[in-house]
Amino acid sequence: MSRRTAALLVAIAIGWAASLQAWGGQGHRLVGLIAARHLTPVAKQNVAWLLDGQTLADVSSWADSLTSDQVQTSYWHYLNIPPDAKGYDRDRDCPRQPGTAAGSRGDRWRDCAVDRISYWEQRAADRTLDRADRATALKFVVHFIGDLHQPFHALGVGRGGNDVLVRVFGAVNCGNDPAKPSPCNLHSVWDSRLIARRALDDAAYVAVLEKLIAERKWAGQPAGTPAEWAEQSWALGKKALVAPDTNIDEAYYRAHIPVIDERLALGAVRLAAVLNRIFVAAP
């Protein structure tokens, strides 16, 4: 890889790193809170032992804290499936690690959410690793499964909607500091703005999502694979895509908040299913 190409990739990663908090804080917490309720007793023991006093909800946004200092990790939060594709294609949508030849030993794991969920899942399950390494792996699994269920973490349009500038209930500035305007974009709408419109605290939102899980009988269904989750998110992202300068209004909110609820709920039960699968013996 040339220095120019490497520099370009780093610049792109830094751009993504500024807006990688899929679901925002509350969304990720909800995934962790609900997943914890669906763990087997043995899985609960392992999670408690590995996290040493923290919960799945506590660590659910930990991976976002790394992207400014460890830029290479930013690629692991998402993938870009083109809108006109037929589905996920690993060779097209999941970049090889820098300097790695296709099919080589180092190419077993690539730099996108689909591969990295599987990679960290294997490490979390590996009882030959020390506790700290397995705890790190668990934190990545928790976060990336949440990320992959946010539709715009799989759609390759405008860096997952980050470049699609919109108005949100009439506002063009979505920043918290009036002195530093931050234009609203579609990715952030799905990360947090629509969830915030719900105006529910964590406990109330958990109750809503648990009711949905029970009604749909999702807790007893096969979890599927990260590639399948990516394709589901990609398809939903295409349906939610809007033109630049669209006003995200009450009609848009009402049309899409059920999708957000479904993705949060499915992300949670699938996270639980993964942890129940890998933690089958007492720590």
- State pLDDT tens for residues 142-152: 999 999 999 99
The yes-or-no verdict on residue 263 having pLDDT over 90 is yes
Q: What is the pLDDT of residue 178?
A: 80
pLDDT in tens, 229-244: 999 999 999 999 999 9
For the segment 252-270, the average pLDDT, to the nearest whole number, is 98
Strand, coil or helix: 248: strand
Predicted TM-score of the model (pTM) = 0.91
Confidence of residue 68 (pLDDT cuts 50, 70, 90): low
pLDDT in tens, 186-218: 999 999 999 999 999 999 999 999 999 999 999
- Is the CATH number of domain 3-278 3.40.50.1000? no
The yes-or-no verdict on residue 12 having pLDDT over 80 is no
Q: What is the pLDDT of residue 71?
A: 75
Q: What is the pLDDT of residue 13?
A: 43
Confidence of residue 4 (pLDDT cuts 50, 70, 90): very low
Give the number of other CB atoms < 10 A from CB of residue 15.
Answer: 14
CB 223 within 8 A of CB 273: yes
Instruction: Please compute Rg for the chain using Cα positions.
Output: 18
- Name the amino acid, one letter, at 79: L
For the segment 101-130, the average pLDDT, to the nearest whole number, is 96
3-state per-residue secondary structure call for 126-167: CCCCCHHHHHHHHHHHHHHHHHHCCHHHCECCHHHHCCCECE
Q: What ranges do the domains of the chain cover? A: 3-278
- The CA dihedral of 238, 226, 22, 44, to the nearest 10 degrees, is 150
Q: What is the pLDDT of residue 21?
A: 53
The yes-or-no verdict on residue 280 having pLDDT over 80 is yes
Q: What is the mean pLDDT of the chain?
A: 91
Confidence of residue 90 (pLDDT cuts 50, 70, 90): very high
For the segment 118-122, the average pLDDT, to the nearest whole number, is 97
pLDDT in tens, 160-194: 999 999 999 999 999 888 888 899 999 999 999 99
The tokens describing 14, both together, are 């830094």
- Name the amino acid, one letter, at 43: A
pLDDT in tens, 36-56: 999 999 999 999 999 999 999
